[in-house]
Structure 1
Amino acid sequence: MNRRQLLTAGAGLVATGAMAKAQNIGLPEAAVMNTAATQAPLRPHSGPDYNPVVTLNGWTLPYRMNGNVKEFHLVAEPVERELADGMTAYLWGYNGQSTGPTIEAVEGDRVRIFVTNKLPEHTTVHWHGMILPSGMDGVAGLSHPGIPPGKTFVYEFDLIKSGTFMYHPHGDEMVQMAMGMMGMFVVHPKDPTFMPVDRDFLIMLNAFDIDPGTYIPRVMTMNDFNLWTWNSRIFPDIDPLVVNQGDRVRVRVGNLTMTNHPIHMHGYDFKVTCTDGGWVPEAAQWPEVSIDIPVGAMRAYEFTADHLGDWAIHCHKSHHTMNAMGHDVPTFIGVDKRQLTGMIRKHQPEYMPMGTAGMADMAEMSMELPDNTIPMMTGWGPYGPIEMGGMFSVVKVRNGIDADDYSDPGWYDNPPGEQAYEWTGELPEFASKNSSQTLLTQKPNSKG
């Protein structure tokens, strides 16, 4: 997993009266991730078996057993996150990352989560959607005092229901979430035969407002975010969802942005099988090709990967599939800029006029950009620029993918007759052949 370790055993423990005291002397080690690559799933080493999730461009937090209790250690701290190649953000997160590591456990487990605060202000952790004692709910000043800088608090509770939940601060929440503090908490069913899947992907929708050339998010932004991310990662550097043909696949999507996101997947229809309120009974599951993820909510859907190919998956709000959005950019479609271009080039010889025939040329040109930013449209496929960014990735369905293989298999090679082609005045051989077969197999109508 390429994890380095932080915080040695024997550090002191601070807990309020409302929190259970730890039975051990030292803290569990706090694992840290230093890469933005998707990590292999973390297989369970105790208790009931389950199929672990795969967090796109993320990882799962390891735990230790202390008697019958699973112990985890979260560290709230400033982090550097590579949003995409060529762009790094100075964020706040957990254990070296934003978003934080995924926590996985099993229905019926008792968990003890140590939270060490290395931020410059107090923080808390709210376990979003989980049923637990009110003193463990993580609302600063209501559930318990905020965790002061340099201190460690303990959250301890039983996992009484399975499902997909989230965690984030509920102390100075606006600032801390805008800085990237959030993660996912997956509770697997106690019965491993309940709702089984072969591949289980996890996506956290989050957003930032970072001006080109800068590194720190603008925390006072309400709606006009310019970077839309999955697990604090931007296309084209969001990893693909790699699937073996025939796999039963689940995609869990949580939303901690300030707006809803209609997540659309190409090539398939699917059934919505879970919300953050619980599992949807089979008789109540409904078919979709797009599922709207409300603010502060989670939706999970499932499908069987029957169709080979490279299939886009993205937010269907078009601005959310762009990077470094400039909200004040004027529309130049149909404008004759030749005279203006000549005037500007007298002072700025490298000026390139753009936008008079749409914006697609932006994906093909290599324009000079400020440091630490990325183009508004980027990413290349096998046939040219994909002209996307932000909340966009690809579901890659192949035959012969091993169970634990999530590496990128490359681009799909469409078989003859299964790719759109240019009309040149006559049908190519494969199309002519198919047309002839169709004519021969058609039955005469009732009029002879």
Structure 2
Amino acid sequence: MVSRRGFLQGAGVASAAVSTVAMAALPEPVIQTSADTQPPLLPPNGRPYNPVVTLNGWTAPWRMKNGVKEFHLVAEPVVREMAPGFKAHLWGYNGQSPGPTIEVVEGDRVRIFVTNKLPEVTSVHWHGQRLPNGMDGVTGLTQPAIPPGKTYVYEFVARRPGTFMYHPHADEMVQMAMGMMGFWITHPKGRHPHIDPVERDFCFLLNAYDIDPGAYTPKVMTMLDFNLWSWNSRIYPGIDPLVVRHGDRVRLRVGNLTMTNHPIHIHGHEFVMTGTDGGPVPKSARWPEVTCDIAVGQMRQLDFLADEVGDWAFHCHKSHHTMNAMGHGVPTMIGVDHTGLAGKIKKLIPDYMVMGERGMKDMTEMEMPLPENTAPMMTGEGPFGAVGMGGMFSVIKVRKDQKPGDYKDPGWFQHPPGTVAYELQGEAPAPARAASPKPAARDIEVQVRKPGQHSH
């Protein structure tokens, strides 16, 4: 057992169990159980910065002690509401999965107390940070594991601005599959040549789970066939909209901790990638995009000008990632004639429903019975009916009358007359076709040249 004073004075020590005396001086861990997007946390002390908004999440408060920003993370089992009526038993930090976002300023000295309330050892890796090797959080390599019931301390200087993450590096396959992860933002200490100021700054993590319909706990041995693709452990329609004011400069910070890549796509606007895992991207190296493919373990920072009003879809462009829990062994039934068959099957299985003979869209409006604690596969209601989406899907709501700093949902967009696609009334006129001239008749002589004989 090493005392806190001895730990802080020791050179090259990664982390150490905190003494009883030091425990009394720990900052109080702040626990959050609501899955609603919390307002940005304006810095009460320290150097000023423009705070981020964590989608369906929150920013961890801190205390200043002798010029050091102190945070307290508690690794523990949590219950996460992934969508209304659907909850998952996960592991996370401070009552939630993902854990709270940590926001600091370039040059801040940061001290993080990590208390382990899991049934096994853990650690925290500060993904993307430049720090002393002994603070990197790899169990067995750079530090001893944090035993259950113990608190360890990490301390380092936030050396460079950017978008980062944190997650365990102990039994990583299980602990990350159970939802242990969080965001880290280091704001620039002043005007940066490659970091423009923005009015709205959002962040969220891409994560995935394999939870059988009716179950609560993820199957941690799954490698690829996940059935729940989520943003910050939420699935549509449980993902809040991103509300912005017309004319706002908007930043989207996205980190990928799933097992596959995700082409993140925005409607109605173009963005530029202004930052990566390695830091800000020089302006000369940027180009406009509407889709950014984010690979496993990567972080991307996307900036755009919200200059088109409306409700704009924002989602992963892998089509099966915008669906909720579904088996992968379902056969394709398109074009299969069920005439007379459904009635016979219902005599044996009263709740049987015909699915998929015209595609799967019908399922968005079916009132089919589901097991307890199961989210519908494709769901969500919009102003014109069923949205028919799930998983990694949300809406960017751009409004002219949204006040600066106001993130409240303004409701559905009111389209000006004549700006919504409509059904053609009456009989459709025949399409105009250009007259095709008849080719002139002429004799065509075909000459055939036979290959010559060659010796080989």
Structure 1 residues 15, 378: closer, same or farther in 2, change over 3 A?
farther
Give, in angstroms, the shift of residue 338 of structure 1. 2.4
- Could you tell me which residue of structure 2 aligns to residue 328 of structure 1? 329
For the 8 Å contact 2:99–2:182, the answer to whether it is kept is: yes
State the alpha-carbon separation in 1 of the partners of residues 331 and 5 from structure 2. 55
Residue deviations 1:226-284, cap 9 Å, x none? 00000000101100000000100000000000000000000001111000110011111
- Could you tell me which residue of structure 2 aligns to residue 282 of structure 1? 283
Give, in angstroms, the shift of residue 339 of structure 1. 3.0
> How many pairs align?
416
- Could you tell me which residue of structure 1 aligns to residue 417 of structure 2? 416
Give, in angstroms, the shift of residue 14 of structure 1. 11
* 1:301-320 matches, cutoff 5 A: 301-320=302-321
SS of the aligned residue for 1:404 comes to coil
Amino acid at match of 1:354: M
State the alpha-carbon separation in 1 of the partners of residues 161 and 381 from structure 2. 39
For the 8 Å contact 2:68–2:111, the answer to whether it is kept is: yes
TM norm structure 1:
0.90
For the 8 Å contact 1:124–1:138, the answer to whether it is kept is: yes
SS of the aligned residue for 1:283 comes to helix
Amino acid at match of 2:138: V
- Could you tell me which residue of structure 2 aligns to residue 297 of structure 1? 298
SS of the aligned residue for 1:32 comes to coil
For the 8 Å contact 1:78–1:118, the answer to whether it is kept is: yes
For the 8 Å contact 1:15–1:152, the answer to whether it is kept is: no
- Could you tell me which residue of structure 1 aligns to residue 251 of structure 2? 250
State the alpha-carbon separation in 2 of the partners of residues 380 and 76 from structure 1. 36
State the alpha-carbon separation in 1 of the partners of residues 415 and 316 from structure 2. 25
- Could you tell me which residue of structure 1 aligns to residue 43 of structure 2? 44
For the 8 Å contact 2:337–2:357, the answer to whether it is kept is: yes
Structure 1 residues 119, 287: closer, same or farther in 2, change over 3 A?
same
* 1:14-163 matches, cutoff 5 A: 18-19=13-14, 26-163=25-162
For the 8 Å contact 1:50–1:192, the answer to whether it is kept is: no
- Could you tell me which residue of structure 1 aligns to residue 184 of structure 2? 185
Amino acid at match of 1:291: C
Residue deviations 1:310-360, cap 9 Å, x none? 000000000100000210111110101123212211122332212101110
For the 8 Å contact 1:199–1:247, the answer to whether it is kept is: yes
State the alpha-carbon separation in 1 of the partners of residues 6 and 173 from structure 2. 25
Residue deviations 1:152-192, cap 9 Å, x none? 00000001100000000000000000000000000000005
State the alpha-carbon separation in 2 of the partners of residues 216 and 47 from structure 1. 40
Amino acid at match of 1:271: V
Structure 1 residues 176, 128: closer, same or farther in 2, change over 3 A?
same
* 1:376-415 matches, cutoff 5 A: 376-415=377-416
Structure with the greater alpha carbon radius of gyration: 2
In the alignment, structure 1 segments of 5+ residues that lack a partner are 1-11, 428-448
For the 8 Å contact 2:252–2:303, the answer to whether it is kept is: yes
Residue deviations 1:185-224, cap 9 Å, x none? 0000000564200000001000000000100000000000
Amino acid at match of 2:56: N
For the 8 Å contact 1:14–1:153, the answer to whether it is kept is: no
State the alpha-carbon separation in 2 of the partners of residues 354 and 152 from structure 1. 52
Give, in angstroms, the shift of residue 400 of structure 1. 2.1
Give, in angstroms, the shift of residue 403 of structure 1. 2.3
For the 8 Å contact 2:14–2:136, the answer to whether it is kept is: no
User: Identity, % of aligned pairs?
Assistant: 66
* 1:230-241 matches, cutoff 5 A: 230-241=231-242
For the 8 Å contact 1:81–1:90, the answer to whether it is kept is: yes
State the alpha-carbon separation in 2 of the partners of residues 268 and 323 from structure 1. 27
Structure 1 residues 14, 258: closer, same or farther in 2, change over 3 A?
farther
Residue deviations 1:93-152, cap 9 Å, x none? 000000111000000000000000000000000000100001000000001000000000
Structure 1 residues 13, 364: closer, same or farther in 2, change over 3 A?
farther
Give, in angstroms, the shift of residue 425 of structure 1. 3.6
SS of the aligned residue for 1:132 comes to coil
State the alpha-carbon separation in 2 of the partners of residues 68 and 225 from structure 1. 44
State the alpha-carbon separation in 2 of the partners of residues 394 and 20 from structure 1. 42
In the alignment, structure 2 segments of 5+ residues that lack a partner are 429-456
Structure 1 residues 160, 353: closer, same or farther in 2, change over 3 A?
same
